[in-house]
Chains A and B, each alone.
Chain A
Amino acid sequence: GAVVSQHPSWVICKSGTSVKIECRSLDFQATTMFWYRQFPKQSLMLMATSNEGSKATYEQGVEKDKFLINHASLTLSTLTVTSAHPEDSSFYICSARTPGLSTDTQYFGPGTRLTVL
């Protein structure tokens, strides 16, 4: 149980284009999803917290107009990197939290590796 998927697993795009990454909870309903970014050899940094049906809460320093997050259903959240630039190249990971016994346990997706040329 508690499986989270991400699509695509990797993407290469040209500078200036937009890229959408999907995060799905496959066997549970996720009222809250989180988006992280990880640069090579570094730790995970939280970008934003996404609650179903409401606007995402962004961490300090994260541009909300550049990283658009939509959490339209209890099983799907999307992250759109708008007008991507080479410095946006990174490993993007989502996680989902399920209400219940393990309310503070986050289950992570496999990640999406974004390369912007």
Chain B
Amino acid sequence: AQKVTQAQTEISVVEKEDVTLDCVYETRDTTYYLFWYKQPPSGELVFLIRRNSFDEQNEISGRYSWNFQKSTSSFNFTITASQVVDSAVYFCALSEPRQGGKLIFGQGTELSVKP
């Protein structure tokens, strides 16, 4: 069965600290996609990244970086030099083409960045 686990419910850091949000997934399929979304207090989900199961290359986008490791079924997200505007709930999600592309979300990690 598909499952996404974000073990960290809440994280609080001080501005400029680095922070890593963990995501562990379960799937039986060999083809799948992993996502990270940001949900600020306004509620709208903001797409951050999509990664397919055949691409284990890590990715960096500005202060954001993602570490995909199939061996540990993890897709972790690191924010470098965090800022107050990074405060939000972050969701990791999994989709499988064989399941019609439905997104299975993790429980979310609420990140609070304090000045």
A residues with CB within 8 A of B: 32, 34, 42-46, 49, 57, 91, 93, 95, 97, 102-111, 113
Contacts and interface: CB of A to CB of B under 8 A. Distances in A.
A104 B95 contact: yes
B35 A110 contact: no
A45 B95 CA distance: 13
B63 interface: no
28 contacts: A32-B100, A32-B101, A42-B107, A42-B108, A43-B91, A43-B108, A44-B45, A49-B100, A93-B43, A95-B45, A104-B50, A104-B52, A104-B95, A104-B97, A104-B101, A105-B33, A105-B35, A105-B47, A106-B47, A106-B101, A106-B103, A107-B47, A108-B45, A109-B44, A110-B42, A110-B43, A110-B44, A111-B44
A106 B35 CA distance: 10
Contacts of A57: 100
Interface residues of B, number: 22
B70 interface: no
Contacts of B108: 42-43
B51 to A, nearest CB: 11
B33 A104 contact: yes
A113 B43 contact: yes
A110 B40 CA distance: 11
The secondary-structure label for the interface of chain A is strand
A95 B42 CA distance: 16
A63 B44 CA distance: 25
Nearest to B35: A105
B43 A91 contact: yes
Contacts of A44: 45, 91, 103, 105
Given A104-B95, A105-B35, A108-B37, A49 B43 contact: no
Given A43-B106, A43-B107, A44-B91, A108 B101 contact: no
Contacts of A43: 91, 105-108
